[in-house]
A = this chain, B = another copy of it.
Amino acid sequence: MARKAAIIGGGVIGGGWAARFLLNGWDVGVFDPDPEAERKIAAVMANASLALPALSDVPMPSEGSLTFHGTIGEAVEGAEYVQESVSERIELKQRVYAQLQQANPDVLIGSSTSGFKATDLQAGAPNPANIIVAHPFNPVYLLPLSEISGSPANPTEVVERTVQIMKDIGMFPLVIRHEIDAFIGNRFLEAVWREALWMLKDGIATTTEIDEAIRMGFGLRWGQMGLFETYRIAGGEAGMRHFMAQFGPTLKWPWSKLMDVPEFNEELVDLVAGQSDAQSGMYTIREL
C-alpha cells in the first residue's frame, strides 16, 4: 500500500508539495475550501509531471492517487505526514493543527510557513511535539531545499523522521540549528529584496535590469556553489583569509541602504508592479 500525505491548503505551494508526493509514489489527500483548488493543483501537476522526471537519473515510481476532501479530518485519514500550506495567519494555522490532531493524533505535521517559528506554531496544540517547520521554495516540485526547523518541544526522532520523509520525496532537508524568524533562505531573499526596492525607488535600475544583473551574474554561479565557496575562489590561491582581509572591512562602507527600509506605500507598489508588468506581463504565469 502506498504511503499517504495530507495537503492542507492547495495554492501555489500546497500544489507543488502535492505534485512532489504524487510523483514520488505517495497517495495524497487534499483539503482546501477554495472551489478552484482542484483546477489549480491540476495545473501545477501538469508542469511538474513534465519537469520533475526529466531531472531524475532513475525511473520515478508509479504516481500515487490524488483525492480531494470536504473536511480536514477526511483528508488526514490514514496519512503519516501532513504538509500545511495555509495563509500566514498564526491563529488559522493553530486551528488547522487542532483539527488535524483531533482526527489523527499521531500524524507528523510539517508547516510551509515562511516566517513563524515552530514554537509559535506549537502553542496551544494538543500534541506540540509532532509539529515542525518544513519550509520549501517555489516552485516546490523543482527546488530541492526544505528548511527543517524544530523547537525544544520536538524530540530528535521527530526531526529525523521529517528529514527522512523529505529525502524520500527528493528534497534536500537542511536542519536549522537554532530557531530564528524566517529561517535562512528568506533572510537572504529579504536582504536582496530590500536592496532591490531601494534601487528601483532611486531610479538606479528597473526590474528587468535588476533581474538581468542577478541572472547573468552571481545567480549563475549560485546554482552550483554557494556564497562562501565562491568567495574562497575569489580569494585566489591565498584563500579565504585573503578574501576576508581584502573585502571584510568594506562591511563598514556605505555600500547599501540596508540600515534603513524604504517606506512601503502605494507609490512603491505601483512602481514595482508597473515595471514588472512591462517586463513580463505578456506571459502567463504558466509560460514563465
Contacts and interface: CB of A to CB of B under 8 A. Distances in A.
Contact of A211 (B205, B220, B225): B225
Contacts of A232: 276, 280, 285, 288
Interface string A188-208: 111111111101001111011
12 contacts: A137-B218, A172-B212, A174-B209, A174-B213, A176-B205, A190-B255, A191-B258, A193-B231, A223-B223, A232-B276, A232-B285, A251-B262
Given A180-B204, A276-B232, A219 B226 contact: yes
A204 B217 contact: no
B250 A115 contact: yes
A215 B227 CA distance: 9
Given A207-B228, A248-B268, 14 more contacts: A12-B234, A143-B218, A172-B216, A174-B213, A174-B216, A176-B205, A182-B255, A191-B194, A210-B227, A215-B224, A232-B288, A240-B276, A244-B273, A248-B269
A204 B191 contact: no
B219 A205 contact: no
B233 A138 contact: yes
Copies of this chain, whole number: 2
Given A174-B213, A211-B229, A285-B233, A194 B143 contact: no
A218 B276 contact: no
A186 to B, nearest CB: 7
A91 to B, nearest CB: 17
A244 B262 CA distance: 14
B202 A233 contact: no
A215 B225 contact: yes
A238 to B, nearest CB: 9
A226 B255 contact: no
A197 B187 CA distance: 12
A279 interface: yes
Given A181-B254, A211-B228, A255-B115, A218 B237 contact: no
Interface in A264-288: 264, 268-269, 272-273, 275-277, 279-280, 285, 288
Given A225-B211, A227-B192, A240-B276, A256 B187 contact: yes
